[in-house]
């Protein structure tokens, strides 16, 4: 039996994770992170989610605590998100929250309180072999797999992690919650960035960023001709791969192939211009063994994106087949090349805007 601190987010998955930890005979306590308290208090870890987590803990008969990490959240997630947008990048704030809050600050607090393990409701699996490292693998329910957002974790964090729902499908999780009478059984999944009110579209992002970041108009260039074809009100709100919302019609399918904030330029191109095979990576981390240049991997650049075979290089990746350009700032998860089941590491995509 272990002492387990469950990160109760107020959702159904973490609720069932707590219940399964109890059923396994562990000593269980729930804790909810209070991360954001601004006027756009929504999404996961909001005030209503804290109350839902408290009700779940009461139903399960376990103690419940609230950890106020708002300063750490602003420093490690919100501030860097704003700065990344200002640089024309497309950041993953949820992954940075995992990296710095859930599996750093929260785990540190758990250790200080004497807990053996930290449990979350992520749909991913851990394989523990005696005398061997902990392996991070995809959740059993591939449609709900969340291994991508955990790809930034490293061995010391994985050793303290417990993922009780990874072997269940989402339907099985909801059925288990319903059978236990948990108040979150039918609660919808959170889909938005928790600190941006009104969703993650351009209007909501603009409303959030405008008081925190000076936004600049940008010129839209047809990459094939070099001609200016329009303008955007805020170049910082445009992302590589974007097709709609630019107010430009070229009479052909066109995408944003580069964003140059310094020059205020958005370059458009077709599928061929959008494709890439070389990907620069920064901030590479590994779940276990550090892989060397020449190692074969499979890469995934979004929560439910398709896997692409690749080979590691000294500065990043060489994709074995062309794919749509990965927006600079996006996390690239690295999986094993054979089955694409085990997470090997991650990095953040780099990119340079071509001259218009």
Give the N- to C-terminal CA distance of the chain in Å, as an integer.
62
Which neighbouring-strand residues pair with 33? Answer: 67
Q: Which of 45, 94, 97, 152 is catalytic?
A: 97
Question: Active site includes 152?
Answer: no
Which string of DSSP letters, residue by residue, matches 81-116?
Answer: HHHHHHTT----HHHHHIIIIIIIIHHHHHHHTT-S
In whole angstroms, give the CA distance from residue 301 to residue 280. Answer: 13
φ/ψ bin of 264: left (φ > 0), alpha (ψ from -120 to 50), beta (otherwise)? left
Question: Active site includes 97?
Answer: yes
Pairing of strands 64-68, 27-34: parallel
Q: Which of 45, 94, 152, 194 is catalytic?
A: 194
Pairing of strands 3-7, 117-119: parallel
Pairing of strands 27-34, 3-7: parallel
Contact 325, 257 (CB under 8 A): yes
What positions carry a catalytic annotation? 97, 194
């Amino acid at each position: 039996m272990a002492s387990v601190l469950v990160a109760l987010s107020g959702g159904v998955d973490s609720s069932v994770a707590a219940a399964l930890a109890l059923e396994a005979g562990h000593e269980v306590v729930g804790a909810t992170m209070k991360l954001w308290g601004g006027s756009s208090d929504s999404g996961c870890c909001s005030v209503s989610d804290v109350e839902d987590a408290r009700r779940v803990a009461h139903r399960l008969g376990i103690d419940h605590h609230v950890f106020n990490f708002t300063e750490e959240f602003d420093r490690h997630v919100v501030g860097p998100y704003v700065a990344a947008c200002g640089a024309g990048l497309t950041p993953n704030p949820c992954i940075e929250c995992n990296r710095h809050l859930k599996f750093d600050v929260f785990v540190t607090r758990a250790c200080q309180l004497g807990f053996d393990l930290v449990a979350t409701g992520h749909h991913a699996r851990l394989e523990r072999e005696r005398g061997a490292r902990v392996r991070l693998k995809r959740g059993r329910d591939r449609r709900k797999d969340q291994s991508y957002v955990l790809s930034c974790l490293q061995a010391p964090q994985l050793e303290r992690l417990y993922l009780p729902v990874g072997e269940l499908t989402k339907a099985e999780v909801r059925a288990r919650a319903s059978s236990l009478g948990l108040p979150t059984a039918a609660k919808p999944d959170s889909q938005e960035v928790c600190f941006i009110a009104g969703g993650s579209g351009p209007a909501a992002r603009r409303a959030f960023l405008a008081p925190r970041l000076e936004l600049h108009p940008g010129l839209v260039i047809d990459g094939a001709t070099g001609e200016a074809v329009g303008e955007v009100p805020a170049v910082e709100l445009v992302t590589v791969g974007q097709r709609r919302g630019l107010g430009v019609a070229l009479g052909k399918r066109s995408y944003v192939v580069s964003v140059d904030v310094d020059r205020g330029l958005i370059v458009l191109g077709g599928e061929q211009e959008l494709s890439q095979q070389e990907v620069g990576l920064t901030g590479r981390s590994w779940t276990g063994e550090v892989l060397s240049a020449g190692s074969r991997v499979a890469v995934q650049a979004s929560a439910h994106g398709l896997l692409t075979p690749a080979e590691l290089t000294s500065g990043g990746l060489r994709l074995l087949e062309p794919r749509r350009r990965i927006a600079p700032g996006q996390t690239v998860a690295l999986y094993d090349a054979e089955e694409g089941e085990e997470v090997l590491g991650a990095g953040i995509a780099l990119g340079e805007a071509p001259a218009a």
